[in-house]
Amino acid sequence: MTASPSAPTALRYEPLRGLALWGEEEKAAALDVLESRSLFRYYGPALQRRVERFEERFAALHQAPHAVGVSSGTAALTCALIGLGIPEGGEVIVPSATFIGCVNAVVAARGVPVFADIDDSLTLDPTAWEHLVTERTFAVMPVHLNNAAADMDPILAVARKHGVRVLEDAAQACGVGYRGRPVGSIGDAGAFSFQLEKNITAGEGGAVVTTDPDVHDRVVRYQDQGGQFTTSRSGERGAAGEAFLGANLRMTEIAGALLSVQLERLTPMLRRLRDVARTVRADLADLGLEWRRLPDEEGSGGDLTVLLADRMAARRFVTQLTAAGIPAATLYSGRLVQQNPSVRAGRTAWGTSWDATARLRASEAVLGRSVTVGLGATMTDDDVAHLTASLRTAAESVRKGAGGE
């Protein structure tokens, strides 16, 4: 998310989460599955039920009765929308600062994305999306960006008022909390990603969490060809009226085994990163920097995002930090998701699916002047001290206008 592959100086630390803690336990868990030759979750020579066990632990961590492991975070979002019962053409309100996977998931679920403003939290402006609600609106998709929660309470209030479903995109916030609740189980469903850069990883993978047994049932069916291995009775996928067709978005047993190990590392890792972020912010308090607003700092998993005066200052800030070996970047290179040409024009694989999207200049401006510092799970106290000093130097230099390009 924040790696800077073209950094002129070697980075001081890897800006990685779960992958930075990868070790012997992951190797042993994967090897167990290989030796069992049971690589498939629903049957095999010596079924290990690794995905099932991961789902149980993942659901428990989220204080939810149900979790379903799937093949990716994008698949999780698609499955969740289908689980929630999105009708064809149903509109899904998506914040403008997010990954294109959100849009792709809506399209795969036969929905239409509608782009909403972000605020100085870089997440969905909690009330400014209300005017976008129409009779076609099916869901709103708050995105918990870079290990900090969106402001869920006001989002839920607006959603309930209009009968709009709430699907949390927690791909970048596995283990993060909001007012004492784990993100992903606050709305009607939550989606997680276990891609390489996420908090816990198996290279690829995803999960859907929900408290609704009907949503759970539909997600299980959809990710399994409509219920090939989960509900098939005499070739029928459930009773007449309840069966429907699906896709193959299943999780492999190796992923399940790796993720069970990674999950054990999650809580202490996030506590450490939250402490790092707090320490750095406190040490720099005298600079009067404008930090990204965190709707719940207490529950965050470590975010250090500075809002500079403008886009140019943000670029200079990034240049300074990367020269000091600190991973830093403007998320999504400062581009809103609908600035992607295909998204803007509504070009899907089956034609043009929506009209050109409106520009959201305030959202462009706030994202463009933000700089997110990458934190790493293996950062030492030395690294933290170097990070603090580098932020101080960069901030002072940018303020003087002497950053240079």
**Structure tokens given for 223:** 């990710």
Applying CB under 6 A, which part among 6-14, 164-172, 222-230, 381-389 lies near ligand PLP? Answer: 164-172
Smallest gap, in angstroms, from Cβ of residue 7 to ligand PLP? 21
Helix (H, G, I), strand (E, B) or coil at 399: helix
Q: Which stretch binds ligand PLP (CB under 6 A): 72-80, 254-262, 321-329, 334-342?
A: 72-80
Please, which residue, 96 or 390, has the CB nearer to ligand PLP? 96
Least distance from ligand PLP to the Cβ atom of residue 379, Å: 21
Shortest separation between residue 137's beta carbon and ligand PLP, angstroms? 20
DSSP string, 27-57: HHHHHHHHHHT--SSS--TT---HHHHHHHH
Nearer to ligand PLP, 183 or 277 (CB): 183
Residue with tokens 């690589």: 39
- CA distances in angstroms from 396 to 222, 310, 326, 385, 390, listed in the order given: 53, 15, 16, 17, 10
Cβ contacts of residue 138 below 8 Å, gap of 6+?
81, 84, 86, 87, 90, 91, 92, 111, 164, 165
Q: Which residue has the tokens 């994202």?
A: 367
Stretch touching ligand PLP by CB under 6 A, among 70-78, 88-96, 154-162, 350-358: 70-78
Angle between helices 253-283 and 24-36 (to 10 degrees): 170
Query: For residues 193 and 206, is the Cβ–Cβ distance under 8 A?
Result: yes
Matching residue, tokens 């069966």 = 243
Q: Vertex 287, ends 283 and 288: CA angle to 5°?
A: 110
Shortest separation between residue 290's beta carbon and ligand PLP, angstroms? 23
CB 138 within 8 A of CB 164: yes
Residue with tokens 């047994």, as numbered in its chain: 213
Tell me which stretch binds ligand PLP (CB under 6 A): 165-173, 228-236, 332-340, 373-381.
165-173
Amino acid identity of residue 183, one-letter, is: V
Output 123 or 319, the one with its CB closest to ligand PLP: 123
Minimum CB distance to ligand PLP, residue 72 (Å): 4
Q: Determine the residue type at 235.
A: G
Helix extents (H) in 170-296: 213-223, 253-283
- Stretch 73-112: interaction string toward ligand PLP, x if CB under 6 A: xx-----------------------xx-xx----------
Proportion of the chain in helix, strand, coil states, percent, rounded to 5: 40, 15, 45
Q: Please, which residue, 73 or 175, has the CB nearer to ligand PLP?
A: 73
Stretch that binds ligand PLP, among 41-49, 67-75, 116-124, 220-228 (CB under 6 A): 67-75
Residues in contact with 110: Cβ distance below 8 Å, sequence separation at least 6, in sequence order = 86, 88, 89, 90
Residue placing its CB nearer to ligand PLP in the complex, 199 or 320:
199
> What tokens were used for 15?
């800006």
Give the nearer residue to ligand PLP in terms of CB position, either 59 or 122. Answer: 122
Answer for which of 2, 4, 48, 195 binds ligand PLP (CB under 6 A) is 195
Considering only 193, 210, 320, 357, the residue that binds ligand PLP (CB under 6 A) is: 193
Q: Kindly state the number of chain residues that form the binding site for ligand PLP, as judged by CB under 6 A.
A: 14
Instruction: Please report whether residue 143 would count as binding ligand PLP according to CB under 6 A.
Output: yes
Q: Which stretch binds ligand PLP (CB under 6 A): 78-86, 168-176, 179-187, 207-215?
A: 168-176
Residues within window 206-235 making contact with ligand PLP, judged by CB under 6 A: 206
Q: Considering the complex, what minimum distance in angstroms separates the CB of residue 284 from ligand PLP?
A: 27
Residues forming contacts to ligand PLP in the complex (CB under 6 A) are 72-74, 98-99, 101-102, 143, 169, 171-172, 193, 195, 206
